[in-house]
Amino acid sequence: MKKIPTGVSAFDSIIKGGLPAGSVVLLLSEIGAGGQEFVYTSSARLLMVKEDPSDLHIILGDECKQSILPERIHYLTFSRAKEDILEEVKTSFNQDYYDAVVECLDFTDLSIPYFKHTMVPSSWTGNNNPSHIFSNNSNRDILEDLVEFLEENAEDNMIIIDSLTDLLTNSTIDKEKLITILKGMRRASKRWGGVVYLLLSKGIIDKSMEYLIIDSVDGVIDFEWSKNFSTSVRRRYMTIKKFMSVLPHLKREKIARFNAEVTDYSGYTVASYEKIR
């Protein structure tokens, strides 16, 4: 089975080189618990190796020697500006991470179609057409733009969609149509041969919709804060909630969940793991 590294080396070593190529992966995260940091770390570390393949064993670990790297990494946003994301990476991680992202990560900003038919002025989304105070009146659906983008860019690549939260909280977007697109995306991803990461914040949508989304993807990685209030130290945890080809590796090692840290030097890292009791 072809594997694509996540860039989180301690995790990749346990799952034998990364996630299966052709996967759509939901990153379900509590606010600040690590979902965003995970995709920043994954992007930066894979791009660093692509720039200098001789560093593969140092950055990704020996378990990833037989894994494949995506040809390109695309970061797709609906409401966040490229400049804001780059500034977040710059102030959170070391210079090597920032350099890799700013030089090699492909950004696509769909904020103009995302904010159409809203009260958001077009100038706020970077569309400074003086003839339109508010966003454009095109009848084109943002979901059509998403599908077109994937058709053109997903093959053999890593796609980061930031985020499903934006799509699910936009009242102009048909939620049933979005679920159908996710199901189609899961089928098409096997032909694309890359990996698609979908960011979704916990607690924003109702549970029934969340379950529909979970049912529509290949894998679910859950990021949460420790619920132990007896200590002042807040811990981040990562748990694999769904992934048919990944869970057997964790079961063999009797791993229940991973204890994670976010540092400026290493980004998102797995510090240790807890065994199934």
Interval 39-76: pLDDT, tens: 999 999 999 999 999 989 899 998 999 999 999 999 99
pLDDT at 275: 87
φ, ψ of residue 216 in degrees (nearest 5): -100, 0
Instruction: For residue range 239-276, list pLDDT tens digits in order.
Output: 999 998 899 889 888 899 999 999 999 899 999 999 87
pLDDT at 94: 93
- Amino acid identity, position 59: I
CA 43, CA 101: separation in Å to the nearest integer? 7
**3 state SS for 188-219:** HHHHHCCEEEEEEECCCCCHHHHHHHHHCCCE
Buried b (16+ CB within 10 A) or exposed e, 52-67: eeeebeebbbebbeeb
Pairing of strands 3-4, 73-77: unpaired
In this prediction the pTM is 0.93
- Amino acid identity, position 65: K
φ, ψ of residue 125 in degrees (nearest 5): -100, 5
Mean pLDDT of the chain: 90
pLDDT at 122: 72
Residues 190, 155 contacting (CB under 8 angstroms):
no
pLDDT at 116: 79
Residue the block writes with tokens 């859950």: 222
Q: Which CATH class is domain 3-275?
A: alpha beta
Q: First-to-last CA distance in the chain? A: 30
Instruction: For residue range 22-41, list pLDDT tens digits in order.
Output: 999 999 999 999 999 999 99
Other Cβ atoms less than 10 A from the Cβ of 180: the count is 13
